[in-house]
Amino acid sequence: YLQGCYDRVLLSTDLEADDALAIKMMAPQLVGVEMLVVLGEGNKDKSALAVDMLRAYGLDLGCITIHQGLQSSVDYPTLALSAYATADRLGGERGGNMFCCQPTHDTAVSTSFLSSAQSPFALLLKPPHECMTIPSSTLARTAAAIYGGFNIRELHRRLSTQYEAEEYGGYRPAPDEKLETFLHSFKACLFVERQGSVGRDATLDRDSCGSVFDLLEADERLMVFTASWSDSTLRSMAAKVARFGEEVTARMMQASKEEEGGKPSAADLKAVERLAEAASKQVAIIRKSARHAGRSVCHADTLVAALLTDVEGVLLEGDRDGGGGQ
């Protein structure tokens, strides 16, 4: 899908485990291509990790500029930062063109990069905050691929407060409208969404794809990186599960104070049901991570990479028959 010759590629990534595998999959097609890598999400500087990872997969650092985009308060696993490090980098050498400013969602760097390309491509593997106000005339020349899920939910959350009404001549469009306008502004856009829950249902591991995982395990750096992410996710999910009982108890105690006779209302019970569903998903993720000893990867950005590298169109044919993941 979206086959063609692109002279510049904007890669928007949060460098999670599925991003690393997606980059590994697409690296052969990106050799020699000028790239702007926009890093975002998480609370740590990932620029050195980006250099290590891109170099590990054979990409020419002389063609790559790395830009620090908008970060978040979510903890990024420390061990992951050095998973791809080599002795020379630990000694101080980095390489690449570093354009690391204060973390921001400013679009100037992305706009300049895409505007100067003849045939630009935007590969959006994280919430693309840094692309949201790129002029429509620039996006209209740009092909794109984006994974939905968290990326879209996070964009929707920020779009609800990001722009002032005067930017639209007094009219304040709804978040859904802004998001739809953004996606339809591209010359062509592959939008990938999963039906199953990523991390619980949609993972790459030895149970689901043993032969593929044999190939992945040959890349020890990727396995170290994946294991660090798995450990971080397990701890995060465990903390959320630990809060589950407290949240249910608090909800029921509040209901007993507000409702006549101390009985919870239908709304209270619906809220408890949602809490239980979330906890059930979190426990399933913990179980799967423990079962595979940290050697599993969420099948999210990897699905985008699979579609982009599927030159025979097998996956899209499956989707047309109702068996795909879009």
pLDDT in tens, 76-91: 999 999 999 985 555 4
Q: What is the pLDDT of residue 118?
A: 94
Alpha helical stretches, state H, 40-96? 47-56, 87-90
Task: Select, from the ranges 90-99, 146-155, 197-206, 286-295, the one with the highest average predicted confidence (pLDDT).
Answer: 146-155
| Edge-to-edge strand ranges of the sheet holding 120-124 | 97-99, 64-68, 34-39, 8-13, 120-124, 143-147, 188-192
Task: Give the pLDDT score at 322.
Answer: 42
Cα 311 → chain centroid? 23
In the structure, what pLDDT confidence band is assigned to residue 261 with cuts at 50, 70 and 90? low
Residue 1 has pLDDT above 70, yes or no: no
Domain boundaries, the chain: 8-192, 203-298
**What predicted TM-score, i.e. pTM, was given to this entire model?**
0.82
Beta strands in 166-324 (DSSP E): 188-192, 203-204, 297-298
Using alpha carbons only, give the angle 67, 152, 35 rounded to the nearest 5 degrees.
25
Mean pLDDT rounded to a whole number for the chain: 83
Cβ–Cβ under 8 Å, residues 84 and 56 = yes
Name the nearest CA neighbour of 60 among 26, 92, 34, 98: 34
pLDDT in tens, 133-152: 899 999 999 999 999 988 98
pLDDT confidence of residue 323: 42
How large a percentage of the chain has pLDDT more than 90? 46
